[in-house]
Structure 1
């Protein structure tokens, strides 16, 4: 059984792409969430080893979700997934407790590297 990952993105095609990359590289995608609120609920329930978190989402954005998850679990390992040009938000996410970030469009190797490093 691989390391458990929660994939969070409001775009279903992005969740599918991430899930595919992760499964091919030995990770176990235990859940998906389409917004920050659902991500927090899923994290609380499943306690995954890591989370990939989009920044811009409806209901609750990724940065607020990071803060919320880190308040539940200060050891949470969250990797932000951001579009080009979101550097100020990435910095804010790191300050909120994210351990790394991946820029879209991403290379599969970068996704695997970021998650592997996050879980060390």
Structure 2
């Protein structure tokens, strides 16, 4: 699979528009479209790195050497993106929120009684 096909697949799995990807990576919508269609044959390494980072995948995924992650794995990757940039206090708050949600999950999966 070519880089363009991988980019298209990732964008479809994440549910993003061309414009959303362009805005996040600092490209024009047309350039993202050209990359996906294979019209832009030799993107710079820096651009490939930015795109991989945006989708939370390795460069190997974009080059086709590794499989595209599932939609669930992409979602988890997006949630983790930027986590390391948070302050220690904010990371602790996020971790506490996740733990609270995990503890409530069995309750949420039970049927509602009338």
Query: What TM-score do you get using the length of structure 2 for normalisation?
Result: 0.29
Q: Counting strand residues as a fraction of each chain, which structure ranks higher? A: 1
Q: Counting helix residues as a fraction of each chain, which structure ranks higher? A: 2
Whose radius of gyration is greater, 1 or 2? Answer: 2
Query: What TM-score do you get using the length of structure 1 for normalisation?
Result: 0.29
